[in-house]
Chains A and B, each alone.
Chain A
């Protein structure tokens, strides 16, 4: 009797849950088509879950453990419960196994409760999420008693047994319906998202990193709006990805804009997109942290309503506050691609509405008319180096290393570090050349601001320019140009070996072309540029280079792949959204706390942002400048 009730309750709840999941899945079909290899995704799913997802979750080992216990116990218990629904199989040993699985789940549930009630990380959402530990422990404890009792032959009075089944059934219902649209959404949606992920190459079975933006099709004029203006303008697997968000708040904890009080919380941004899939709702039911300084409940959601606007779900300030630093993507255990979403939204704003914030729009207009964001004459890119007599690589010419100067060549501060780099190349006897007046801006800032048309125009012309010359490698001191040339130009036919200057200088030091004569001997904190570290996984070369020149290296709070952005990426200095603090000030606090008198940087944007912080602060030095000083010839 108790066993039959248990089976009935379990199967009913599971079937209702399945139906609700199908209802949920219908919403994603409103999105645009996407080329997805479902079978390959399905085959890769276990690996992606156990390796890639685990690697992220396991950064907090406690969380990995309670997930293993509660999810493992829950899945095993569900399987056993379905098997036990068949009366001939109701064997005491099976009941014993069920009790074991539920005991594991109970332990996991208690850990979840401890985290939610005692540890209480600030990024977690409340509301229905707060009932999760109750549901987990209620279901596990009640069914554990029933299973133990059944395995012992059924000694409990029937009413007590039925009451336990009812309690466990409530817990199960809470959990299963939570899969539909609640705290356990990530269980099924997350798995489906891993199957149909828009960037399959980012997992361990692919390249392990896939950070280049996808080109927007600008050729077919009638393929709908450019970018995403409404939520249904996203591809269906992107919508699925947003729905996989479990509001764990790891993105929020990592987001530099959120920390500085800019009106952006990546978690809320994803929830804004999720809520927009339902007609006529608003965000009052959202129980996590808001976009700082923005109210909730002000806008009505809907699949065909505009997503971005002063009265829409996403305020323009929220959209333009993002520095595209990828900290959220790095931290997301559900592998959601926040930056892709931000860029898709920006593409619509820029390409369809011309709603780029004023100063950024001005820069884009100058970029279109002069091929550099400052609106300067390209002839003047080498003005700073007139005494250096840089060899210029003409069409058809050959050199070993092509030095890509980037926009830093127009900036007084960055000319200093470029000069250091050129002197180092000379000192090491490298056969190098620059493009001179023919080099165009790489288009990074245009692309992050959503101006895909200008980016593609620049990319095509730069690729043609570079393909018309012969060189072994491209070296650049600008991680943004590095990322664009290395990861985003291949889509336009440009495939070269691209090196960041830190990797190249390390090679020169290691090969003996540069000799360290005056080891630095001072403490140095190294700030990882987002576009070098998270976008390209290069965190070792700059550190090894600093070690090689005798720097006593100190790690700041947040470094390597989890580095905090300087605030200068993604056109953020141009869109200039106000917050409570400035992002570079917060990063400089990290540097101050390290106690190092020198903050080493490896990116022109980081140099400007961090050197713009008011003193007292550590001195900001580009790595090339430090290497130049350390390898000064003795005679």
Chain B
């Protein structure tokens, strides 16, 4: 049993720009569904009439509290105040929004305001029997994972590598309740000063004539990408255990995997 608060935002589809549930926030809600049943408070700060909010209700959430504020306001104080009142054991949210400043700073600011620890880029949470501490798995670069034990209460941001969110269904989305709480929020001066325009890829520099690129055509490039270089590594035939261990140790050193 643990009380969980989930902060959800309105996402923006990269291709169409249409509002949708934010993928990492939806994953945060999915993680919350997997925790032992306690109170589950989902919070959104913004426009309560945004239809994309129903996507979260469609995942099986019965109630979503919206701290109603106009566009371009700073939601952090209002969220922190609300969360102080709820005092949940775990606060979950996605690690980055789609829209607004996209800085991923909100959970840090909220955690600081509440004086809580923050665990970024979480992919799994398991609670101990008493509900005092949680085993948390954190996603690191290149698919590495780190297990942490964290004492409740804490804030966790959910990584896109966390288990996929369940689909949102129309029936529950329509039946779910949106509770509107009007709040005062200061204008976000930085955000209003920003100009937003669609992001586009920088054109890639073509390296014509360089090794592995260009001159030999597609077949050459495929070969460069797939062929293994000969002459690397060495073959030990029936090595002694010491010799074998030494070889493994050297290899690990070489790959930068020595224990710290």
Contacts and interface: CB of A to CB of B under 8 A. Distances in A.
A377 B16 contact: yes
Contact of A451 (B13, B20, B170, B175): B170
A369 interface: yes
Interface stretch (A257-265, A279-287, A360-368, A414-422): A360-368
Given A221-B174, A358-B164, A350 B169 contact: yes
Given A356-B167, A358-B164, A370 B172 contact: no
Given A354-B58, A375-B15, A376-B15, A226 B20 contact: no
Interface in A504-538: none
B164 to A, nearest CB: 7
B82 to A, nearest CB: 28
Contacts, number: 52
A306 to B, nearest CB: 14
A571 to B, nearest CB: 13
A353 B169 contact: yes
A191 B13 CA distance: 53
A376 B166 CA distance: 22
Contacts of B20: 365, 368-369
A354 B18 contact: no
B168 interface: yes
Contact of A370 (B15, B58, B170, B174): B15
Q: Which one of A226, A354, A376 has the greatest number of beta carbons of chain B within 10 Å?
A: A354
B167 A361 contact: yes
B186 to A, nearest CB: 31
B91 interface: no
A354 B16 contact: no
A355 to B, nearest CB: 8
A589 interface: no
B163 to A, nearest CB: 11
Q: Which one of A226, A352, A368, A452 has the greatest number of beta carbons of chain B within 10 Å?
A: A368
A452 B58 CA distance: 15
A226 B16 CA distance: 29
Nearest to A350: B169
B170 A351 contact: yes
B171 to A, nearest CB: 4
A402 B164 CA distance: 40
A441 B15 CA distance: 15
A225 interface: yes
A145 interface: no
A364 B172 contact: no
B158 interface: no
Interface string B7-37: 0000001011010100000000000000000
Contacts of A356: 167
B168 A225 contact: no
Given A370-B13, A376-B15, A352 B167 contact: no
Contacts of B175: 221
A453 interface: yes
Contacts of B172: 352, 354
Interface in B231-245: none
B171 A370 contact: no
B59 interface: yes
Contacts of B13: 369-370, 375
Contacts of A97: none
Interface residues of A, number: 26
Contacts of A376: 15
Q: Which one of A352, A369, A375, A453 has the greatest number of beta carbons of chain B within 10 Å?
A: A369
Nearest to A221: B174
B15 A354 contact: no
B15 A352 contact: no
A364 to B, nearest CB: 7
Contact of A225 (B15, B164, B171): B171
Interface string A617-632: 0000000000000000
A226 B18 contact: no
Contacts of B18: 369-370
A488 interface: no
Contacts of A218: 170
Nearest to B168: A354
Q: Which one of A350, A361, A365 has the greatest number of beta carbons of chain B within 10 Å?
A: A365
Interface in B148-188: 164, 166-172, 174-175
A33 B20 CA distance: 36
Given A368-B20, A376-B15, A453-B170, A354 B164 contact: no
Contacts of A355: 167
A378 interface: yes
A407 interface: no
A451 B167 CA distance: 12
A371 interface: yes
Contacts of A375: 13, 15
B58 to A, nearest CB: 7
B16 A352 contact: no
A375 B20 CA distance: 12
Nearest to A380: B15
Contact of A226 (B166, B167, B171): B171
B165 to A, nearest CB: 9
Contacts of B174: 221
Given A354-B58, A354-B59, A369 B171 contact: no
Nearest to B23: A365
Q: Which one of A218, A350, A351 has the greatest number of beta carbons of chain B within 10 Å?
A: A351
B171 A351 contact: yes
Contacts of B58: 354
A451 B171 CA distance: 11
Contacts of A452: 170
A438 to B, nearest CB: 13
Contacts of A350: 167, 169-170
Interface in A323-381: 350-356, 358, 361, 364-365, 368-371, 375-378
B169 A352 contact: yes
A226 B170 CA distance: 9
Nearest to A378: B16
Contacts of B16: 369-371, 377-378
Given A221-B174, A370-B15, A351 B169 contact: yes
Contacts of B60: 354
A375 B175 CA distance: 27
A170 to B, nearest CB: 52
Contacts of A353: 169
A203 B121 CA distance: 61
Contacts of A225: 171
Q: Which one of B20, B166, B170, B172 has the greatest number of beta carbons of chain A within 10 Å?
A: B170
Nearest to A222: B175
A351 B58 CA distance: 9
A355 B172 CA distance: 12
Interface in A221-266: 221, 225-226
B196 to A, nearest CB: 17
A364 B23 CA distance: 14
Can you list the 5 inter-chain pairs with the closest CB atoms, starting with the nearest? A354-B169, A361-B167, A369-B13, A370-B16, A453-B170
9 contacts: A226-B171, A350-B170, A352-B170, A352-B171, A353-B169, A354-B59, A354-B168, A354-B172, A378-B16
Given A368-B20, A370-B15, A370-B16, 6 more contacts: A218-B170, A226-B171, A354-B167, A354-B172, A358-B164, A453-B170
Interface of A: 218, 221, 225-226, 350-356, 358, 361, 364-365, 368-371, 375-378, 451-453
